[in-house]
């Protein structure tokens, strides 16, 4: 629960990659504010169904799940089109699905490069392309791309991820210009480090491997780049998302909200 309020009653949102981490939290923040939500992502079917049922019960909205693989354009189109077929509208598309791989360029596996570009960048294009005819017809829509501080600056050994996230920023600006007069906005959110299950699991392991405390891992290893030395929270990201999708966000277009503790100010 984000505890942050805006009125999205009756609206319909798709959040890609929402069976875990940031996507699950953003889907719940939208549901908490009245939107019907379509979850998407890979992972354990029982856990996904439990998440779907809990969000629906806690917030009194319709919650569906669609298993589109973000590497497959036809499945992405079906995610969008089946949502509109069922609910009759699509107000919010949040492109959030993403993966990471860390290796120097000369050792970077080709398959990992292709998967990261496919899931983190190309799926944003495919989902937006499918959503636009519906949003144009309605004369309103919000496309929100979960980019990263790595959409603005680089770190070594993350070439595919940094390239994909910079690509997402370029796509965000281009699409924003194309739809600016049609009631549709396209923006990005650029988080620093967020304590998702994936990150959390690494803390104890890294502490053990380096022989330092978990606090030192967080401060000196993980958050070395993040001036506040604090993880970004789901609530902080929900605040950014809810502003962008609210009526107050109608004139924010082709831009981004950095939620990175000052990382990209350096």
Residues annotated catalytic, as ranges: 161
Q: How far is the CB of 83 from ligand NAD (least distance, A)?
A: 15
Cα separations (Å) of 75 from 13, 40, 71?
A: 17, 11, 8
| Single residue of 194, 238, 257, 259 touching ligand NAD by CB under 6 A | 194
Per CB under 6 A, which of residues 198..257 are in contact with ligand NAD?
Answer: 198-199
Does 38 sit near ligand NAD (CB under 6 A)?
no
Q: How far is the CB of 199 from ligand NAD (least distance, A)?
A: 5
| Single residue of 191, 239, 254, 261 touching ligand NAD by CB under 6 A | 191
Per CB under 6 A, which of residues 53..72 are in contact with ligand NAD?
Answer: 69-71
Contact segment (CB under 6 A) with ligand NAD among 86-94, 171-179, 186-194, 204-212 equals: 186-194
Sequence-distant contacts of 201-205: CB under 8 A, at least 24 apart: none
| Single residue of 8, 121, 146, 241 touching ligand NAD by CB under 6 A | 146
Does 42 sit near ligand NAD (CB under 6 A)?
yes
Count of residues touching ligand NAD (by CB under 6 A): 29
Sequence-distant contacts of 101-109: CB under 8 A, at least 24 apart: 101/160, 101/161, 102/157, 102/158, 103/157, 104/156, 104/157, 105/159, 108/159, 108/160
Q: How far is the CB of 175 from ligand NAD (least distance, A)?
A: 17
Contact segment (CB under 6 A) with ligand NAD among 11-19, 85-93, 135-143, 208-216 equals: 11-19
Per CB under 6 A, which of residues 69..128 are in contact with ligand NAD?
Answer: 69-71, 96-99, 119-120
Q: How far is the CB of 89 from ligand NAD (least distance, A)?
A: 23
Q: Is the distance from CB of 243 to CB of 249 less than 8 angstroms?
A: yes
| Single residue of 15, 41, 162, 234 touching ligand NAD by CB under 6 A | 41
Using alpha carbons, select from 242, 236, 229 the residue that is nearest to residue 258: 236
Q: How far is the CB of 249 from ligand NAD (least distance, A)?
A: 20
Can you give the binding site for ligand NAD, defined by CB under 6 A?
A: 17-23, 40-43, 69-71, 96-99, 119-120, 146, 148, 191, 193-194, 196-199
């Amino acid at each position: 629960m984000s505890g942050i309020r805006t009125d999205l009653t009756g609206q319909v949102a798709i959040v890609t990659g929402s069976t875990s981490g940031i996507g699950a939290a953003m889907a719940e923040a939208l549901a908490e504010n009245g939107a019907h939500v379509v979850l998407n992502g890979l992972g354990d079917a029982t856990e996904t169904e439990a998440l779907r049922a809990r969000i629906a019960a806690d917030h009194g909205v319709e919650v569906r799940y669609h298993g589109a693989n973000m590497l497959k354009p036809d499945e992405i189109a079906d995610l969008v089109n089946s949502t509109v077929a069922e609910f009759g509208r699509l107000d919010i598309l949040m492109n959030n699905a993403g993966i990471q791989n860390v290796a120097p360029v000369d050792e970077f596996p080709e398959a990992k490069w292709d998967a990261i570009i496919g899931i983190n960048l190309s799926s944003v294009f495919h989902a937006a392309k499918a959503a636009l005819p519906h949003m144009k017809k309605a004369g309103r829509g919000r496309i929100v791309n979960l980019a990263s501080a790595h959409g603005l600056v680089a770190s070594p050994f993350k070439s595919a991820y940094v390239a994909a996230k910079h690509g997402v920023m370029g796509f965000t600006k281009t699409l924003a210009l194309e739809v600016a007069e049609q009631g549709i906005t396209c923006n990005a959110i650029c988080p620093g480090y967020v304590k998702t299950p994936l990150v959390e699991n690494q803390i104890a392991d890294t502490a053990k491997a380096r022989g330092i405390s978990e606090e030192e891992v967080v401060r000196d290893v993980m958050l070395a780049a993040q001036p506040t030395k604090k993880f970004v929270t789901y609530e902080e990201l929900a605040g950014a998302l809810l502003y962008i999708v609210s009526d107050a966000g109608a004139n924010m277009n082709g831009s981004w909200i950095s939620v990175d503790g000052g990382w990209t100010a350096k």
